[in-house]
Amino acid sequence: MAATTGTTAPSQGEDSVPGSARARKKPRRSYSVGRSAVPYLLVLPALLMELLIHLVPMVVGVVMSFKELTQFYIRNWGAAPWKGLGNYRVAVDFNGAIGHALLHSFLITCAFTVLAVGFSWLLGTTAAILMQDAFRGRGFLRALFMTPYALPIYASVIIWAFMLQHDNGLVNHVLHDQLHLSDKPAFWLIGNNSFVSLVVVSVWRNWPFALLVIMAGMQNIPDELYEASAIDGAGIWQQIRRITMPSLRPINQVLVLVLFLWTFNDFNVPYVLFGQSAPPAGDLISIHIYQASFLTWNFGSGSAMSVLLLLFLLVVTTVYLAFTSLRGRRTSNA
Protein backbone atom coordinates (compact mmCIF):
# COMPACT_ATOMS: atom_id res chain seq x y z
CA MET A 1 0.00 0.00 0.00
CA ALA A 2 2.72 2.42 0.98
CA ALA A 3 4.55 1.85 -2.28
CA THR A 4 1.44 2.49 -4.37
CA THR A 5 0.70 5.74 -2.61
CA GLY A 6 4.33 6.76 -3.04
CA THR A 7 4.37 6.30 -6.81
CA THR A 8 0.89 7.49 -7.61
CA ALA A 9 0.79 10.55 -5.38
CA PRO A 10 3.00 12.86 -7.49
CA SER A 11 1.32 11.97 -10.76
CA GLN A 12 -2.13 12.42 -9.32
CA GLY A 13 -2.31 16.19 -8.91
CA GLU A 14 -0.13 18.85 -10.59
CA ASP A 15 -0.97 21.39 -7.92
CA SER A 16 0.22 19.31 -4.98
CA VAL A 17 3.47 20.51 -3.54
CA PRO A 18 6.23 17.91 -3.98
CA GLY A 19 7.83 18.85 -0.70
CA SER A 20 4.74 18.35 1.33
CA ALA A 21 4.10 15.05 -0.43
CA ARG A 22 7.52 13.82 0.57
CA ALA A 23 7.00 15.07 4.09
CA ARG A 24 3.78 13.14 4.28
CA LYS A 25 5.30 10.03 2.73
CA LYS A 26 8.17 9.62 5.19
CA PRO A 27 6.38 9.09 8.50
CA ARG A 28 3.81 7.03 6.71
CA ARG A 29 6.36 4.53 5.44
CA SER A 30 8.04 4.01 8.81
CA TYR A 31 4.62 3.63 10.39
CA SER A 32 3.63 0.96 7.91
CA VAL A 33 6.84 -1.01 8.37
CA GLY A 34 6.16 -1.08 12.10
CA ARG A 35 2.66 -2.18 11.39
CA SER A 36 3.74 -4.97 9.09
CA ALA A 37 5.75 -6.51 11.92
CA VAL A 38 2.80 -6.50 14.30
CA PRO A 39 1.05 -9.56 12.87
CA TYR A 40 4.27 -11.52 13.01
CA LEU A 41 4.86 -10.49 16.59
CA LEU A 42 1.31 -11.47 17.45
CA VAL A 43 1.66 -14.97 16.00
CA LEU A 44 5.16 -15.42 17.40
CA PRO A 45 4.08 -16.90 20.76
CA ALA A 46 1.74 -19.30 18.99
CA LEU A 47 4.50 -20.16 16.54
CA LEU A 48 6.95 -20.87 19.34
CA MET A 49 4.46 -23.09 21.14
CA GLU A 50 3.72 -24.85 17.87
CA LEU A 51 7.43 -25.51 17.41
CA LEU A 52 7.73 -26.74 20.96
CA ILE A 53 4.66 -28.92 21.01
CA HIS A 54 4.57 -30.26 17.47
CA LEU A 55 7.87 -29.86 15.75
CA VAL A 56 10.25 -30.86 18.52
CA PRO A 57 8.65 -34.27 19.19
CA MET A 58 8.58 -34.81 15.43
CA VAL A 59 12.28 -34.06 15.13
CA VAL A 60 12.98 -36.28 18.13
CA GLY A 61 10.94 -39.04 16.50
CA VAL A 62 12.94 -38.72 13.30
CA VAL A 63 16.20 -38.86 15.25
CA MET A 64 14.95 -41.97 17.08
CA SER A 65 14.18 -43.69 13.79
CA PHE A 66 17.90 -43.78 13.00
CA LYS A 67 18.77 -45.43 16.30
CA GLU A 68 18.65 -48.94 17.63
CA LEU A 69 16.36 -48.03 20.48
CA THR A 70 15.39 -51.19 22.33
CA GLN A 71 14.71 -51.82 26.00
CA PHE A 72 18.43 -51.78 26.67
CA TYR A 73 18.59 -48.07 25.90
CA ILE A 74 15.22 -46.56 26.73
CA ARG A 75 16.49 -45.31 30.06
CA ASN A 76 19.24 -43.32 28.37
CA TRP A 77 18.35 -43.20 24.74
CA GLY A 78 21.09 -40.78 23.88
CA ALA A 79 23.42 -43.76 24.32
CA ALA A 80 21.54 -45.98 21.86
CA PRO A 81 23.78 -46.88 18.92
CA TRP A 82 23.13 -45.29 15.54
CA LYS A 83 21.65 -47.65 13.03
CA GLY A 84 21.66 -45.41 9.98
CA LEU A 85 18.93 -46.47 7.60
CA GLY A 86 18.77 -49.94 9.17
CA ASN A 87 15.30 -49.50 10.67
CA TYR A 88 13.98 -48.20 7.34
CA ARG A 89 15.57 -51.01 5.42
CA VAL A 90 13.83 -53.56 7.64
CA ALA A 91 10.50 -51.72 7.36
CA VAL A 92 10.50 -51.62 3.55
CA ASP A 93 12.00 -55.07 3.00
CA PHE A 94 8.73 -56.60 1.88
CA ASN A 95 10.27 -60.06 1.59
CA GLY A 96 11.12 -60.04 5.28
CA ALA A 97 8.52 -60.80 7.95
CA ILE A 98 8.44 -57.29 9.44
CA GLY A 99 8.27 -55.45 6.11
CA HIS A 100 5.69 -57.88 4.78
CA ALA A 101 3.50 -57.39 7.84
CA LEU A 102 3.84 -53.61 7.50
CA LEU A 103 2.87 -53.72 3.82
CA HIS A 104 -0.13 -55.92 4.65
CA SER A 105 -1.20 -53.52 7.37
CA PHE A 106 -0.72 -50.56 4.99
CA LEU A 107 -2.92 -52.12 2.31
CA ILE A 108 -5.61 -53.00 4.87
CA THR A 109 -5.50 -49.42 6.10
CA CYS A 110 -5.84 -48.04 2.55
CA ALA A 111 -8.88 -50.21 1.85
CA PHE A 112 -10.38 -49.34 5.22
CA THR A 113 -9.81 -45.61 4.67
CA VAL A 114 -11.36 -45.56 1.19
CA LEU A 115 -14.47 -47.38 2.40
CA ALA A 116 -14.84 -45.54 5.70
CA VAL A 117 -14.33 -42.07 4.22
CA GLY A 118 -16.49 -42.88 1.21
CA PHE A 119 -19.44 -44.07 3.27
CA SER A 120 -19.08 -41.30 5.85
CA TRP A 121 -19.13 -38.69 3.12
CA LEU A 122 -22.01 -40.30 1.25
CA LEU A 123 -24.14 -40.64 4.37
CA GLY A 124 -23.31 -37.12 5.53
CA THR A 125 -24.13 -35.59 2.16
CA THR A 126 -27.34 -37.56 1.74
CA ALA A 127 -28.59 -36.66 5.19
CA ALA A 128 -27.63 -33.00 4.75
CA ILE A 129 -29.54 -32.78 1.44
CA LEU A 130 -32.59 -34.50 2.89
CA MET A 131 -32.61 -32.18 5.86
CA GLN A 132 -31.98 -29.02 3.85
CA ASP A 133 -35.63 -27.95 3.83
CA ALA A 134 -37.28 -27.20 7.14
CA PHE A 135 -39.71 -29.83 8.38
CA ARG A 136 -41.17 -30.91 11.69
CA GLY A 137 -38.62 -32.69 13.82
CA ARG A 138 -35.60 -31.52 11.84
CA GLY A 139 -33.90 -30.16 14.94
CA PHE A 140 -34.48 -33.42 16.78
CA LEU A 141 -33.07 -35.47 13.90
CA ARG A 142 -30.03 -33.23 13.65
CA ALA A 143 -29.34 -33.68 17.36
CA LEU A 144 -29.89 -37.43 17.09
CA PHE A 145 -27.50 -37.76 14.17
CA MET A 146 -24.85 -35.79 16.03
CA THR A 147 -24.91 -38.11 19.05
CA PRO A 148 -22.19 -40.55 17.91
CA TYR A 149 -19.85 -37.64 17.39
CA ALA A 150 -20.63 -36.16 20.80
CA LEU A 151 -20.13 -39.38 22.77
CA PRO A 152 -16.76 -40.04 24.39
CA ILE A 153 -14.94 -42.26 21.91
CA TYR A 154 -13.86 -44.94 24.37
CA ALA A 155 -17.33 -45.40 25.83
CA SER A 156 -19.04 -45.59 22.46
CA VAL A 157 -16.55 -48.01 20.92
CA ILE A 158 -16.59 -50.31 23.94
CA ILE A 159 -20.38 -50.52 23.55
CA TRP A 160 -19.77 -51.57 19.95
CA ALA A 161 -17.30 -54.18 21.20
CA PHE A 162 -20.02 -55.61 23.45
CA MET A 163 -22.56 -55.56 20.65
CA LEU A 164 -20.16 -57.35 18.30
CA GLN A 165 -19.42 -60.23 20.69
CA HIS A 166 -19.91 -63.70 19.28
CA ASP A 167 -21.94 -65.29 22.08
CA ASN A 168 -23.90 -62.52 23.73
CA GLY A 169 -23.61 -59.63 21.26
CA LEU A 170 -26.61 -57.70 20.02
CA VAL A 171 -25.46 -57.87 16.39
CA ASN A 172 -25.46 -61.67 16.29
CA HIS A 173 -28.68 -61.73 18.25
CA VAL A 174 -30.42 -59.64 15.61
CA LEU A 175 -28.73 -61.09 12.50
CA HIS A 176 -28.69 -64.74 13.54
CA ASP A 177 -31.27 -65.36 16.29
CA GLN A 178 -33.98 -62.99 15.08
CA LEU A 179 -33.55 -62.61 11.33
CA HIS A 180 -31.90 -66.02 10.69
CA LEU A 181 -29.60 -64.48 8.07
CA SER A 182 -26.74 -66.93 8.76
CA ASP A 183 -26.51 -70.65 9.58
CA LYS A 184 -24.28 -69.98 12.57
CA PRO A 185 -23.36 -66.83 14.51
CA ALA A 186 -20.44 -64.96 12.98
CA PHE A 187 -17.30 -63.68 14.68
CA TRP A 188 -16.99 -59.91 14.39
CA LEU A 189 -13.97 -59.22 16.57
CA ILE A 190 -11.64 -61.92 15.27
CA GLY A 191 -11.10 -63.33 11.78
CA ASN A 192 -11.97 -61.67 8.49
CA ASN A 193 -15.20 -59.99 9.61
CA SER A 194 -13.19 -57.74 11.88
CA PHE A 195 -12.55 -55.57 8.80
CA VAL A 196 -16.29 -55.06 8.35
CA SER A 197 -16.66 -54.21 12.05
CA LEU A 198 -13.95 -51.59 11.75
CA VAL A 199 -15.55 -49.92 8.74
CA VAL A 200 -19.01 -49.90 10.33
CA VAL A 201 -17.84 -48.45 13.64
CA SER A 202 -15.65 -45.88 11.92
CA VAL A 203 -18.46 -44.73 9.63
CA TRP A 204 -20.88 -44.60 12.57
CA ARG A 205 -18.38 -42.47 14.41
CA ASN A 206 -17.37 -40.09 11.60
CA TRP A 207 -20.38 -39.51 9.39
CA PRO A 208 -21.96 -36.97 11.78
CA PHE A 209 -18.91 -34.81 11.27
CA ALA A 210 -19.42 -34.94 7.50
CA LEU A 211 -23.08 -34.07 8.06
CA LEU A 212 -22.19 -31.13 10.28
CA VAL A 213 -19.70 -29.65 7.84
CA ILE A 214 -21.90 -30.14 4.78
CA MET A 215 -24.93 -28.67 6.55
CA ALA A 216 -22.85 -25.61 7.39
CA GLY A 217 -21.68 -25.40 3.78
CA MET A 218 -25.24 -25.54 2.49
CA GLN A 219 -26.23 -22.50 4.52
CA ASN A 220 -24.11 -20.46 2.12
CA ILE A 221 -25.90 -21.55 -1.05
CA PRO A 222 -28.44 -18.80 -1.83
CA ASP A 223 -32.06 -19.98 -2.07
CA GLU A 224 -32.50 -17.81 -5.17
CA LEU A 225 -30.36 -20.27 -7.13
CA TYR A 226 -32.75 -23.09 -6.36
CA GLU A 227 -35.79 -20.91 -7.01
CA ALA A 228 -34.42 -19.73 -10.35
CA SER A 229 -33.49 -23.25 -11.41
CA ALA A 230 -36.92 -24.54 -10.39
CA ILE A 231 -38.56 -21.87 -12.59
CA ASP A 232 -36.31 -23.01 -15.44
CA GLY A 233 -37.60 -26.54 -14.89
CA ALA A 234 -34.67 -28.18 -13.11
CA GLY A 235 -35.51 -31.35 -11.11
CA ILE A 236 -34.10 -32.29 -7.77
CA TRP A 237 -31.26 -34.35 -9.29
CA GLN A 238 -30.26 -31.53 -11.56
CA GLN A 239 -30.32 -29.12 -8.65
CA ILE A 240 -28.06 -31.42 -6.65
CA ARG A 241 -25.69 -31.95 -9.57
CA ARG A 242 -25.59 -28.41 -10.92
CA ILE A 243 -26.03 -26.27 -7.81
CA THR A 244 -25.44 -28.12 -4.54
CA MET A 245 -22.38 -30.14 -5.47
CA PRO A 246 -20.45 -27.36 -7.26
CA SER A 247 -21.20 -24.95 -4.42
CA LEU A 248 -19.93 -27.47 -1.88
CA ARG A 249 -16.68 -28.12 -3.76
CA PRO A 250 -14.39 -26.09 -1.45
CA ILE A 251 -16.08 -27.56 1.63
CA ASN A 252 -15.75 -31.10 0.31
CA GLN A 253 -12.13 -30.56 -0.56
CA VAL A 254 -11.28 -29.90 3.09
CA LEU A 255 -13.78 -32.37 4.51
CA VAL A 256 -12.51 -35.35 2.55
CA LEU A 257 -8.92 -34.50 3.39
CA VAL A 258 -9.62 -34.21 7.11
CA LEU A 259 -11.67 -37.42 7.14
CA PHE A 260 -8.91 -39.18 5.23
CA LEU A 261 -6.20 -38.13 7.69
CA TRP A 262 -8.29 -38.99 10.76
CA THR A 263 -9.39 -42.34 9.43
CA PHE A 264 -5.99 -43.36 8.17
CA ASN A 265 -4.41 -42.58 11.53
CA ASP A 266 -7.26 -43.91 13.64
CA PHE A 267 -5.94 -45.65 16.73
CA ASN A 268 -8.84 -45.54 19.18
CA VAL A 269 -11.39 -47.60 17.26
CA PRO A 270 -9.16 -50.63 16.53
CA TYR A 271 -7.50 -50.49 19.94
CA VAL A 272 -10.76 -50.50 21.87
CA LEU A 273 -12.34 -53.11 19.58
CA PHE A 274 -9.48 -55.57 19.37
CA GLY A 275 -7.17 -54.85 22.29
CA GLN A 276 -3.42 -54.92 21.91
CA SER A 277 -3.19 -57.46 19.15
CA ALA A 278 -5.47 -56.79 16.22
CA PRO A 279 -6.60 -59.65 13.97
CA PRO A 280 -4.82 -59.67 10.57
CA ALA A 281 -7.91 -58.38 8.73
CA GLY A 282 -8.23 -55.43 11.13
CA ASP A 283 -4.56 -54.64 11.55
CA LEU A 284 -4.63 -50.88 10.92
CA ILE A 285 -1.31 -49.16 10.55
CA SER A 286 -1.44 -47.05 13.70
CA ILE A 287 -2.05 -50.07 15.90
CA HIS A 288 0.51 -52.05 13.92
CA ILE A 289 3.15 -49.44 14.64
CA TYR A 290 2.11 -49.34 18.28
CA GLN A 291 2.61 -53.07 18.43
CA ALA A 292 5.93 -52.86 16.61
CA SER A 293 7.30 -50.32 19.05
CA PHE A 294 5.56 -50.34 22.39
CA LEU A 295 4.77 -54.01 22.75
CA THR A 296 7.97 -55.36 21.26
CA TRP A 297 10.03 -52.58 22.82
CA ASN A 298 11.67 -51.59 19.57
CA PHE A 299 11.12 -47.85 19.50
CA GLY A 300 13.61 -47.18 16.71
CA SER A 301 11.77 -49.49 14.35
CA GLY A 302 8.41 -48.00 15.39
CA SER A 303 9.73 -44.47 14.77
CA ALA A 304 11.00 -45.43 11.32
CA MET A 305 7.56 -46.80 10.43
CA SER A 306 5.95 -43.62 11.77
CA VAL A 307 8.25 -41.45 9.66
CA LEU A 308 7.38 -43.51 6.56
CA LEU A 309 3.70 -43.07 7.38
CA LEU A 310 4.19 -39.33 7.81
CA LEU A 311 5.95 -39.10 4.44
CA PHE A 312 3.17 -41.05 2.77
CA LEU A 313 0.48 -38.83 4.26
CA LEU A 314 2.44 -35.71 3.25
CA VAL A 315 2.71 -36.91 -0.33
CA VAL A 316 -0.96 -37.85 -0.52
CA THR A 317 -2.04 -34.54 0.99
CA THR A 318 0.16 -32.51 -1.34
CA VAL A 319 -0.97 -34.38 -4.44
CA TYR A 320 -4.59 -34.20 -3.35
CA LEU A 321 -4.49 -30.45 -2.69
CA ALA A 322 -2.61 -29.74 -5.92
CA PHE A 323 -5.04 -31.87 -7.92
CA THR A 324 -8.26 -30.57 -6.37
CA SER A 325 -7.13 -26.94 -6.43
CA LEU A 326 -6.12 -27.27 -10.08
CA ARG A 327 -9.45 -28.78 -10.99
CA GLY A 328 -11.25 -26.19 -8.92
CA ARG A 329 -9.46 -23.40 -10.78
CA ARG A 330 -10.18 -24.99 -14.15
CA THR A 331 -13.89 -25.30 -13.45
CA SER A 332 -14.10 -21.73 -12.19
CA ASN A 333 -12.25 -20.48 -15.31
CA ALA A 334 -14.46 -22.43 -17.63
Partner 1 sequence: MRRITAAIAAITAITTLAGCGGGTATGNGGNKAPKTLTYWASNQGKSLDDDKQKLTPELQKFEKQTGIHVKLEVVGWPDLLNRVLTAASSGQGPDVLNIGNTWSASLQATGALMPFDDKAFTAIGGKDRFVASALGSTGAAGKPPAAVPLYSLAYGLYYNKKLFKDAGIAGPPATWADLVADGKKLSTGGKHGLAIEGANNAENIHHAYIFAKQHNGDFFDAAGNPTFTSPGAVAGVKQYIDFIASDKITAPGNAEYAQNQSLQDFATGKAGMLLWQAAGVQLAQRGMKPEDWGVAPVPVQSGTPGQGANVDTMVAGINLAVFKNTQNQDGALKFVKFMTSDEEQKILNGKYGSIPAVTSAQSDPQFSNPEQAVLRQGLAKSAVALPQVPKESQFEDLVGTALKDLFADAAAGKPVTTESVQKRLEKAQQQMTG
Chain residues in the site for partner 1 (CB under 8 A)? 40, 44, 47-48, 51-52, 55-57, 59-60, 63, 68, 70-72, 74-78, 90, 96-98, 101, 165-167, 185, 187, 189-192, 275-277, 279-280, 291, 294-298, 301
Judged by beta carbon, residue 165 or residue 265, the one nearer partner 1 is 165
- Spell out the residues 6+ positions from residue 193 whose beta carbon is closer than 8 angstroms to its own: 186, 187, 281
Closest approach, Cβ 230 to partner 1, in A, equals 53
Judged by beta carbon, residue 56 or residue 311, the one nearer partner 1 is 56
Angle between helices 245-264 and 299-333 (to 10 degrees): 170
> Rg (Cα) of the chain, in Å, rounded?
28
How far apart CA 26 and CA 32 sit, in angstroms, is 10
How far apart CA 187 and CA 168 sit, in angstroms, is 11
How far apart CA 58 and CA 260 sit, in angstroms, is 21
Judged by beta carbon, residue 9 or residue 101, the one nearer partner 1 is 101
Count CB atoms within 10 A of the CB of residue 1. 9
Identify the burial level of 217 via C-beta atoms within 10 angstroms of its C-beta, where 0-12 means exposed, 13-18 middle and 19 or more buried.
buried
Closest approach, Cβ 254 to partner 1, in A, equals 27
Closest approach, Cβ 199 to partner 1, in A, equals 18
Closest approach, Cβ 311 to partner 1, in A, equals 19
Closest approach, Cβ 170 to partner 1, in A, equals 15
Closest approach, Cβ 59 to partner 1, in A, equals 5
Q: Helix H segments across 133-244?
A: 138-150, 153-163, 170-172, 193-218, 223-231, 236-239
Judged by beta carbon, residue 207 or residue 299, the one nearer partner 1 is 299
**C-beta separation of 112 from 202 below 8 A:** yes
For residue 17, give the H/E element and its range: none
The partner residues of 67 in beta bridges, in order of sequence, read: 82
How far apart CA 58 and CA 173 sit, in angstroms, is 46
Judged by beta carbon, residue 184 or residue 330, the one nearer partner 1 is 184
Closest approach, Cβ 218 to partner 1, in A, equals 40
User: Nearest to residue 259, comparing CAs of 143, 124, 126, 102?
Assistant: 124
Judged by beta carbon, residue 7 or residue 95, the one nearer partner 1 is 95
Judged by beta carbon, residue 21 or residue 68, the one nearer partner 1 is 68
Judged by beta carbon, residue 86 or residue 118, the one nearer partner 1 is 86
How far apart CA 317 and CA 296 sit, in angstroms, is 31
Closest approach, Cβ 111 to partner 1, in A, equals 19
